[in-house]
Amino acid sequence: MGKSINVPTSPEPGAQRILLGIGSVALGAVGFGFLPLFLFWGFSGGLTPETGLLWRYGGGLLLMAPFALVLGARAWRHGGRAFCAGLAMGVATVSLFKSYASLPVTLVILIFYTYPAFTLIFARLFFGKPITPRLLAAVILVLLAAALIVRPDAEAGISVGVLLFAFLGPMGFAGYLTLAAEIGPATHMAARINGVNLGALAVALPVSWAVLDTLIPDAPVGWLGAVCLALVTGVLSNALNLFGAALAGGARAAIAGSAELVTALLIGAVVFAEPFAWPYLVCAVLLLAAIGLSLPRRPATATDD
């Protein structure tokens, strides 16, 4: 009788780096998922969507200013691609904030969570990245999950122009992730965060100029929202996204980022007492399955009898 011998096969190259990157982006996405709560606090204290943008990116830039002063030129070196990623992020956020004001929330969510598909396309078109069957299947799961939470009548009476503007959100965020994945790891994190926030601020400032009188919150809860927008979404989640995308690649980062949707749904149910219907639970399971599909292949074993 032959003896069984386990022969390990090679794991996917850079598997540990990819796992670290996926975990980092997923954790950053949880921070982004608190955005509805931070905005609610800000709006309750006198902020507007436009000045919320300024706090998110301008506040993040100010928080990183001490690092820029200490590091000098190193804090900005090779930040050009990060600046372009920030421009894309700015377009995405302006589209998202404006769409929330003109479209049903569930439809906005569905449209925005097409960004993993756009990320796959952009990475293939501009950087020649392969589209693997596992990543494609994961993207399809994300799209199905987002579709589950859309009401049947969500599209009634909506103009084509408004819908097209809403699609700038996922396209912009896909551009941000695609470029973030191509920023070299040698680029200092301060340069990456400063570049992204500066690029996003360049987009946010013109659309916020007319409402700068609402920049200063008029209540403590508004200050709480403003600080959280800057610290959590402008710095911490941004840093986790940039770090993780460079390790895992844009496509995997886009799929891991769907953890934001799960967090936002939980925030809606727990904080705002919104009903957590069964499609939301199925949605969360599909998104977790998508993240699982995006993980690197495990080393397998072969048996020789």
Res 4: pLDDT = 44
Res 83: pLDDT = 92
Res 226: pLDDT = 96
Confidence (pTM): 0.81
State the chain's mean pLDDT as an integer: 82
| Helix H or strand E segment including 8 | strand 6-8
Q: Which amino acid is at 66?
A: P
Res 249: pLDDT = 87
Q: Which single residue is written with the structure tokens 């705002």?
A: 272
Which of 240 and 162 is assigned the larger pLDDT?
240
The phi and psi torsions of 192 (rounded to 5 degrees) equal -65, -50
Does the pLDDT of residue 221 top 80, yes or no? yes
- Residue 285's CB is within 10 A of a number of other CB atoms, namely 13
* Under 8 Å between Cβ of 124 and 167: no
Average of per-residue pLDDT across 180-196:
83
Res 156: pLDDT = 54
SS3 category, 301 = strand
